[in-house]
Structure 1
Amino acid sequence: MRSTFHGIEIGKRAIFAQQTALSVTGHNIANANTVGYTRQNAITQATNPLSYPGMNVGNGPLQIGTGVETTEINRIRDSFLDGQFRSQAEQQGYWNVKHDTLSKIEETLNEPADTGLQANFDRFWQSWEDLSKEPDSLAARAALLSNATALAGRFNQISDSMENLSTDLQNQLSTKTQEMNNLTKQVSELNLQIAKITASGQQPNDLLDQRDLLVDKISKMADIQVKPAQAGHGMVDIFMDNKSLVAGDKNYSVSFDSSSNQLSLGGTTVSLKSGEIAGMVESLTQDIPSFMSKINELVSVFSRETNQIHTDATAMNLDDIQNRKNDPTAALDQLPFFVASGTSSNPGTAGEITVNPLIVASLNKIAAARVANVSDAGTANELNNLKFKTVSFSNQTTTLNNFYRTIVGDVGIKTQEAIQMESNSEILVQQAESQRQSVSGVSIDEEMTNMVKFQQSYNAASRYISVMDEVLDKLINGTGRVGI
């Protein structure tokens, strides 16, 4: 038999349930613009009826309900969409870095422009042509020296820029790995808090949101795999290159060795395929070295071919011509035009090429003739024609200008690819986030509708209690008073 106050209890439970639902709705509205927040929903169910059929319980056809209760506050989240978003975020982070690096390489070349390397080459060839017209002109020789110095300086500048870019990437990697370590530490700490709260039977929804937001940030840095922790209790494990990054309430440090350009996790070398860190490592170990290898090869072949002509057994400078007039058997200077800094050997890299200091000290040391005559321009003509000469490189035979254009074209193609892939990945990230928000995001219109619904239910429950109060008042105060 039910209690006299059974109706009051039903009304009370209804009020508590609707009040909880309104609180959840208010929490959703308050966090509508909070980054990483997941929409929550109060789940209710009917409480156990007044009695169940049994040996000591009546077997009548009716059971009286006892109202409603809130069983959980559910977090509306789709793990599949999380995985899709993080997979695309990894690609976006990777191509962001690749685009940035390749754009800086392209800016260093600065082609086509008056300050680009091609323009320096053109002025250098033009100077030899001008000198071939006036072999004894000091003005033409001075212009040649200036343009040759500018060309060597441009190579030096490219080398310095790439060294600075490499140093900058190394610094970024150190900073990024420290940032990742901080994030993984926070994830492990949240894992511990979540486990404690979950073990007590509660739902740490807001802590789960904080952890998911941290995992999203980590996913942009590196390709990771997120799995439920073996320890359970709501914790997650994070793996990178199949090695533990976070295991329950423990995290393992990622570090970058700038001397070997190696990335390691917990002391073990790891290899990444996507994410910002992978883009930085690849830029540092592949893109920049590949580019500089080609530039250095250009420097080596260019200086070798130039020096070979300038040091030919018949190449004469103004001092040689004067000496041969005095002594027909006088030895020729045979000075290399370009040398490696501080040496007399052929330069092999862009960072060391410089005009021979002896030529810088005296314009007379520029060899323009083939015979002992100041009007002869045999050497100057041959050096002017060097730009048309087919020479051998490591993997092709072509002209110096064409080889350089190949370098510029290759950088341009890679940069355009990076731009396109970055654009595509950004679109895919936006689409994945839109899909995720359609499930997990807060809709103000929907929450306002829910608020009105729960408010009406609350008002109805309150009115129901008022009715039951009147009934009980009549029962208690209005019965048993006959004859009074």
Structure 2
Amino acid sequence: MASTFFGLTIAYTGLQAAQTSINVTSHNLANINTKGYTRESASTKAADALRTYARYGTLGSGVVVDAINQTRDSYYDEKYRNNNTNYGQYNVKNSYMSQIENYLNEFTLKGYSTEYENFFSALNQLDRTPADTSAKNQLINNAKSLTDYFNTLSTNLRNVQVDANNEIKDAVQQINSLAQNISSLNKQINQIQANYGNANDLKDQRNALIDDLSQIVNITVSESDMGNNLTNLQITINGNSLVDGYNYHTLQTVARENPRNVSDAAGLYDIQWENGQEFYIYSDSLSGELKGLIDIRDGCNGEIEKYASTTDAAGNSTYKTDADGNILTETESQKDKNTQYKGVPYYQSQLNQFIQTFASSVNEILNKGVTSDGSAQGISLFVMKENSQALTASTVTVNQALLDNADLLATKYNVSDGEANVDLIVDLINTKDARIYDGGTGSFFLESIVSDMSIDSSKAINFTKNYMNLQTTIQNQRLSVMGVDTDEEAMDLVKFQEAYNLSSKMLSVMNELYDRLINNTGV
């Protein structure tokens, strides 16, 4: 049968259970503002019944606390991380597209469209006074202003590319650091749980790190049971293992030996695993901040800009050049080897295409003419800077000979033509309306660049806002499960306090019984 003092033991277990529940509630309230904290609760169950060998069979032996559980839903974790990945991608694009928009904003800045119009305004003035040296100077200086603007614009875009490239390196380092910390936490958690301890706070730290990782790159998280209260947590990126239990893999950035695109900055990074295995950065399934940075840095609308080449009848390949021998560029479809996004290389290639077409059309006409006094053959207005390989937005400049002597500018076709003959100048003016820029005029071509930029910039803004709103909604849903609610904790505190008081009252009752039994029996 049960011990005479068995009731005291039962009351004591009630005190212990209530005290533990109060401590857990206190821990919840203490961490109410802790980021990533998961609400905990004490799980209780009836203690094993005691066989009494009496008619009633067994007798309850009180209560035990068998676990401290976290109240968390993995479904909301997955939703949050998937959205966090998309938010990270478009937040990066929004940041960089706003920079590109500032450089290409033709509505609030006197940009390349204005410089382009100024060039033809100077031609119209020269049309009135073709032999006037000051009018020639005005045209040449306007041309220099135009080339300087394109040089600066190309440099600014390259700086954006360099910034994105540096952030890619930082993102890779963050991924490696988070992977190392997560694998370390995996080991600590299992060491505690192997001894049937409580590693809930370490799990919160691990989940917070996984949340941070999900913003940088899209991940797949799985956790399997290994037995003996141990688990194996795995994280993969595009099917490649990043974290596997206590082990983790790292990524490396390797500078490219040769630029992919003509106007790319030198030393842009490719990514590979530490064992040399390729990390395919142009995968359609890649997402997160890393994807956004790669799109901005490498995006050329599914193409690659390279030096234009041609093959002769003998099968020999040579570079395509304009009439002045300047190497030209062209784009080649690389849909499987590049991102479809319109990033910095795309806008660089568009500017290069415009400059090459514009300079060639102007130079071709000037080279056919002679100076206003008929003393010299016409020379090119637009040339490459020294030590340049191709005519691009960053290398174009105005012929120094014309800057030194404006009278070397051709204004007519034939020596026999009078100084007032303006056929050559009229042909230059007509190039403005010539549909030689992908079937459109120069003005429309420049406007299309702004249009492309505006569409992508607006898309980045809208998607960033949408995913931010979704993030707030999903986080609220997640917090409704895992978050600490002051009202709920206050009610629990009262409930557990009442349970503690009742167990204490039971001890008092038992004390009175034992006093009667021991001290007063037989008196």
Tell me the TM-score normalized by structure 1: 0.91
Quick check: 1:236 aligned with 2:233? Answer: yes
The 1:112/1:179 distance shift into structure 2, 3 A limit, reads: same
| One-letter code aligned to 2:238 | D
- Going by fraction, where is strand more abundant, 1 or 2? 2
2-structure distance, mates of 1:80, 1:147 = 62
CA distance in 2, matches of 1:458, 1:470: 19
Alignment partner, residue 283 of structure 1 = 296
Q: Which amino acid aligns with 1:31?
A: N
Moved more, 224-233 or 155-164: 224-233
Q: Does 1:415 align with 2:452?
A: no
Contact 1:297 1:348 in 2 (8 A): no
Shift of 1:241: 1.4
1:152-178 deviations in whole A, cap 9, x for unaligned? 011101111121111111111111111
Match of residue 352, structure 1, among 392, 395, 399: 395
Q: 1:127 to 1:231 in 2, by over 3 A?
A: farther
CA contact (8 A) 1:263 1:269 kept: yes
**Aligned match of 1:389:** 434
Equivalent of residue 249 in structure 2, options 248, 252, 257:
252
Output aligned runs, 1:38-437, within 5 Å: 38-51=38-51, 58=53, 60-229=55-224, 233-259=230-256, 261-266=269-274, 267-271=276-280, 273-286=286-299, 287-312=343-368, 315-318=369-372, 321-323=373-375, 332-342=376-386, 348-371=391-414, 372-391=417-436, 393=437, 396-437=438-479
In 2: Cα distance, 1:414 partner to 1:244 partner: 33
Task: Determine the C-alpha separation between the residues in 1 that align with 2:160 and 2:50.
Answer: 76
Report Cα offsets for 1:285-333 as digits up to 9, x if no partner: 1111122111111111011111111111xx2223xx152xxxxxxxx42
The runs of 5 or more residues in structure 1 that have no matched partner are 52-56, 324-331
Decide whether aligned partners of structure 1 residues 41 and 247 sit closer, same or farther in structure 2, where only a CA change above 3 A counts.
same
Aligned length: 460
CA distance in 1, matches of 2:11, 2:166: 65
- Give the helix-richer structure, 1 or 2: 1
Q: Separation in 1 of the partners of 2:507 and 2:388?
A: 103
Q: In structure 2, what is the Cα distance between the partners aligned to 1:114 and 1:6?
A: 88
Partner AA of 1:399 in structure 2: T
Which one-letter code corresponds to 2:254 in the other structure? D
For 2:100, give the aligned amino acid.
I
Deviation at 1:381, TM superposition (A): 2.2
Instruction: Quote the offset at 1:383 in angstroms.
Output: 1.4
Which entry has the higher C-alpha Rg, 1 or 2?
1
Residues 38-63 of structure 1 deviation map (CA, whole Å, 9 limit, x = unaligned): 00010001111221xxxxx6362353
**Counterpart secondary structure, 2:59:** coil
Unpaired runs of 5+ in structure 2?
257-267, 300-342
Deviation at 1:6, TM superposition (A): 1.2
Q: Name the amino acid aligned to 1:340.
A: M
| Other-structure match for 1:3 | 3
Distance 1:289 1:231 in 2: 49
CA contact (8 A) 2:154 2:393 kept: yes
Pairwise CA RMSD: 1.8
Mapped to 2, the partners of 1:134 and 1:83 lie a distance apart of 72
Whether the 8 Å contact between 2:371 and 2:411 is mirrored in structure 1 is yes
Retained in 1: the 8 A contact 2:32–2:484?
A: yes
Equivalent position SS for 1:297: helix
